[in-house]
A = this chain, B = another copy of it.
Amino acid sequence: MEKFEINVLGCGSAKPSPVHNPSSTVVNFRDNLFMIDCGEGAQKEFQRQRLKFSRLNHIFLTHMHGDHVLGLPGLIGTMALSGLEGDITIHTFEDGKKILTSIFDYFNRGLPIDVKFNVIKPEEAVVFENGALRIRTIPLRHKIPAVGYVFEEKPRLRHINRDMCDFHEVPIWAFNTIKAGEDYIKPDGTIIPNRVLTKDPTPPRSYAHISDTAYIPGLAEKIHGVDLLFHETTYLTQDLDKARERGHSTAAQAAQTALDAEAGKLLTGHYSSRYKDNTPFLEEARRIFPNVILGKEGLNIVV
């Protein structure tokens, strides 16, 4: 199966602890790396996990709080010092583009890497698309404008049923159109239906990254059927008042969204530093939704 994996680089929150980095996640889709948020220390963790800078061309920012973006100038400086050239695109809001441009102009002057910006808005939109992948934004509820990102693999080509193709004497040059779903018309005019010549493809996979946000009751339907859901779990229910006050979610609320969305798996993270031990997040979430992965730095998860 083609690679579609998540690497957790940082799952602490605004006040990092000695054990957690601030936010950063890497989506490895067929060996193209997409970074979501870039908190301080992301570049170090990126290297520690043996990810390749040369594979990284897009960085998606969820919002402009420092713990999600302050690793950017260092990351880009290090990429340039690693001998990389070319460009990297940062997807962020207009004000993010403005402050980051002034920071890069000061600290990354004259580097061979060209930083481009794709200005996004806090609304539902497709922000990246190629032949195999679509990335869309979902507006979240936080103290400042914020979006989540949904990575959706596009439907794949059908698998050739080689025995049936041989039986019907289908020439190899016709395979591509058959994989794409077309019937085969024999030289004598006989139509061989596509379903005879092919098998169903693997269903397309999807990953939703939801951080930072208060609980949104209607969110589940926007990410329905997602295979892997990262949903921020800054607090436990015992601190629900703080979650509400600060625009964050509890483990139970994240699990409720995973349950309502009929997600395959839930990945937790963005833990408040007030909790020395994170296992209660796993326990709280599992009471509502069984398939929970307790996020931590260094984790590699297949979607």
Contacts and interface: CB of A to CB of B under 8 A. Distances in A.
Given A22-B74, A66-B73, A67-B74, A81 B14 contact: yes
A70 B43 CA distance: 13
Interface stretch (A100-108, A167-175, A221-229): A100-108
B81 A40 contact: no
A77 B67 CA distance: 9
Given A40-B40, A41-B40, A66-B108, A78 B48 contact: no
A107 B69 CA distance: 10
A43 B47 CA distance: 20
A46 to B, nearest CB: 9
A299 interface: no
B40 A74 contact: yes
Contact of A70 (B14, B18, B64, B74): B74
Contact of A15 (B18, B82, B103): B82
Nearest to A106: B99
A71 to B, nearest CB: 7
Contacts of A66: 73-74, 77, 107-108
Size category of the A interface is 20 to 34
A21 interface: yes
A195 interface: no
Interface in A101-148: 102-103, 106-108
Contact of A16 (B17, B43, B64, B67): B43
Contact of A40 (B15, B71, B103): B71
A77 B14 contact: yes
A102 B100 CA distance: 11
Contacts of A82: 15
A49 to B, nearest CB: 9
B74 A16 contact: yes
A70 B75 CA distance: 11
Given A16-B78, A99-B102, A44 B41 contact: yes
A81 B107 CA distance: 26
Interface of A: 14-18, 21-22, 39-41, 43-44, 47-48, 64-67, 70-71, 73-74, 77-78, 81-82, 99, 102-103, 106-108
